[in-house]
Chain A
Amino acid sequence: MGPYDIYIWPSYIVTAVVLCGLAVISWRSKKKDEQNLRRLEQQMRELSDKEIT
C-alpha cells in the first residue's frame, strides 16, 4: 500500500476489532440471558410442583 500503510491498516484493524467486539458481546449476552431464563423457568416449575404436592 506504500507510504499510507500506517493509516490504512489501523483503520481496517480498528473496524475489525470494534465489529467483532460488538458481535461477541451481543451474542454472549443473549446466550447468558437464555441460560438465566432456563434456570428461572426450572425454579418456577419446581415451585409450582411443590405447591401442588
Chain B
Amino acid sequence: MSGSSFEIRGALNNLINDTVSYRPFFMHKFANPARFMRLSNFLLPWTMGLTVLLFAFGLYFALFVAPEDYQMGNAYRIMFVHVPAAYMAQFGYGVIAVASAVGYIWKHPLADQAARATAPMGAAFTALALVSGSLWGKPMWGTFWIWDARLTSMLILFFLYLGYIAVWQTIEDQVRAARIASIVAMVGLLNVIIIKFSVDWWNSLHQPATLLRMDGPAIGGAMLTALLLMIFAFNMFFITVLMWRIQSLILKRRIRSLRLQLGGGRG
C-alpha cells in the first residue's frame, strides 16, 4: 500500500475518532451527576411554582374565558387537555430519541438516565391523549375509537413506550439495556414523523394541525391564549417531574454501588 493511502486512512481514522470523542461544551458541563443534582435542586422550586401558576391561568382561560365554539359548542374545551397531552407524548419520545442517540454515540452518563426517566411520563401523556381524544371523538364523530391513521399511530406510540420501558425492566445488565433501549428509541422515532404527517398523507377523521401550520394557527384570541398557557403548563410539569425522576435514578445508581461496596466489605 502506498504512503498516501496510509495517510488518507490515518486522516479518516482521526476524523472518526474526533467525531465520536467530540462533545459539545454543554455536555461536559452537565455530564457530572453531582453538578446535575445541584443545578436541579436550585431550579426545582422555580419550575414547580411556574407549573402551578401556568396551570391556574391556563385552566381559568380554558374553562371560563375562552368562548364557546360555533360548531363544536363547549365540547371543543377537551382540546385544552388533549392537544398538550398529544404534543407532550411526541415531545417526550423526541427527548428519549435524542438522549438515546447522545448516550449511544458519546456515552454521556446522564443521557441514558434522562431517556429512561422520560419513558413512563411519555407513556402517561400518550394514554391521556388517547383517552381525551376518545372522549372528544364520541360527541364529534359518534364513536370513541376508529382505526384512523392518526389514532392508530398514537396507539403504536403508546406500545413503543411500553416496549422501551420493558427493555429496561427485563435486561439486568444496565449497560446492555441502555444500548438496546437506545436502538428501540431511535427506530421508533419514525413513528413520530408518521403521527405528525398522518393527517396529510391519509384520509383522516382527525382534524389537521391547529397550531403548527404554514399559514399560522387556526385559532386565535382567548382560545389560542388558553391553549398556549396549557401547553406551557404541561411543558413545565414535564421538566419538573423529569428532574425528580433523573435525580431518583442517579440516587439509585449510587445506592447500588454502595450496596456492592458494603456487600464486598462484609464478604
Residues of chain A whose beta carbon lies under 8 Å from any beta carbon of chain B = 1-4, 7-8, 10-12, 14-15, 18-19, 22-23, 26-27, 29-30, 33-34, 36-37, 40-41, 43-44, 47
Contact = CB atoms under 8 A, between A and B. Distances in A.
A15 B120 CA distance: 15
Interface residues of B, number: 35
Contacts of B241: 22-23, 26
Main secondary structure of the interface of A (DSSP, over half): helix
Contacts of A47: 262, 265
Given A4-B75, A30-B244, 16 more contacts: A3-B139, A8-B77, A11-B78, A14-B128, A15-B132, A19-B237, A22-B121, A23-B240, A26-B244, A29-B248, A30-B247, A33-B247, A40-B255, A41-B258, A44-B261, A47-B262
A23 to B, nearest CB: 6
Contacts of A33: 247-248, 251-252, 255
- Interface SS of chain B: helix
Interface of B: 73-75, 77-78, 81-82, 85, 120-121, 124, 127-128, 131-132, 135-136, 138-139, 237, 240-241, 244-245, 247-248, 251-252, 254-255, 258-259, 261-262, 265
A50 to B, nearest CB: 10
Contact of B258 (A7, A8, A23, A44): A44
B81 A37 contact: no
A23 B128 CA distance: 15
A9 to B, nearest CB: 9
Contact of B78 (A8, A43, A44): A8
A14 B132 contact: yes
Nearest to B257: A40
25 contacts: A3-B73, A4-B75, A10-B135, A11-B81, A11-B135, A11-B136, A14-B132, A15-B85, A18-B124, A22-B241, A23-B237, A23-B241, A23-B244, A26-B241, A26-B248, A27-B244, A29-B245, A29-B248, A30-B251, A36-B255, A37-B254, A37-B255, A37-B258, A40-B258, A47-B262
